[in-house]
Amino acid sequence: MATTYIQFDAPKSDNQTAKDGLINSVFKKALVGFLTKVIPKANPDFNDKIDAVQYWLLECDNYTGIPEREIGLDKEGLVILKMPFKDNYGYWTDNNLLLNDFKEHFVVSEISRDSFEQNWELFDKISNFEIEVSDFQILSTGANGGHIYLTTEFNHNGQQRKLVIYFADKLDEHKIKTRAKLKLSGRLFDEGIQQSLSLLDTKLID
C-alpha cells in the first residue's frame, strides 16, 4: 500500500497553526471543540493527553487520502499517544478529513516512513510509572539556567537497572534537597537492558 507521512502543528483555538486565509479562527475553534467532544468516547486512554499534543504525525493512504495511523508528540518531541491503539479509535483517523485537506488547511511537512515507524514503536517503550526512592544521587546540569536530576538503581523486572530521573517542574527540583525519601511519578522510558532507564516529566508526590 502506497502511503504518505506528514507532520503538522496541533490545531489550537488560541494560536496560528493553519495557513493564513484558509481556516479562520471561528472554524478552528469549531474544529477543536468538535474533536474535544468526541475524544472521551472514542479514545478513553488518551482523553487527558490530547491537549498536550504539540505535533501530529499522520500516515495517509495515497489512493483514498484517508489517515490510517496517527502519533501525538508533546512540546519536547516525545511520543505521548498513538492511534488506533487498543480501544482508542483515533483523533484524526476517526473523522472525514483526508490528506489533501491537511495539505490545504495546515502547514504540513512530509516525513519519512522510517521516522514515523520509529516514533510508532517508541510509544511502546514509554509507560506511566511510580516509585519510592531513598538511596539516590543529586546531580545538576547548566542547561536552561540549570536543572537538578537524580540517579538511582533499583530492581526492574528482575534486573538491577540504573534510573535517571528528570523533573517536570523546577519547584520539585528544589524540594528534593530537603527530603530523605521521595515518592515520584512520571513516564518511564526503557530503550533496552543496555541503556539506563529514564523517568521523564517526573512529579513529586507529597
SS3 of 17-76: the string is CECCCCCCHHHHHHHHHHHHHHHHHHCCCCCCCHHHCCEEEEEEECCCCCEEEEEEECCC
83, part of any domain: yes
Bigger pLDDT: 51 or 130? 130
138 and 81 in a common domain: no
- 19 pLDDT more than 80: no
Distance CA 74, CA 56 (A): 9
Q: Please report which confidence band the pLDDT of residue 24 belongs to, taking 50, 70 and 90 as the band edges.
A: very low
> Do residues 55 and 63 touch, judged by C-beta distance below 8 A?
no
Instruction: Look up residue 178 and give its DSSP letter.
Output: G
Within-domain flag for 119: no
Do 8 and 76 lie in one domain? The reply is yes
187 contacts 199 by C-beta, under 8 angstroms: yes
pLDDT band at 70 (very low <50, low <70, confident <90, very high): very high
Instruction: Specify whether 101 is located in the same domain as 157.
Output: no
Q: Are 92 and 127 in contact (CB under 8 A)?
A: no
68: CB partners within 8 A, 6+ apart = 3, 59, 60, 61, 93
17 and 84: one domain?
Answer: yes
Whether residues 97 and 136 share a domain: the answer is: no
Name the 3-class secondary structure at 119: helix
Same-domain check for residues 149 and 88:
no
| Domains: count for the chain | 2
40 upstream amide cis, omega within 30 of 0: no
**Confidence category of residue 40, pLDDT binned at 50, 70, 90:** very low
pTM, 2 dp: 0.71
**Domain around 142:** 126-204
Ramachandran assignment for 146, one of left (phi > 0), alpha (psi -120 to 50 degrees), beta (any other): left
Q: Say if CB 170 and CB 113 are below 8 A apart.
A: no
Same domain flag for 79 and 174: no
104 and 8, same domain (yes or no): yes
How many residues comprise the chain?
206
75 and 164 assigned to the same domain: no
* Whether residue 171 is found in the same domain as residue 71: no
Least confident of 44-53, 92-101, 115-124, 162-171: 44-53
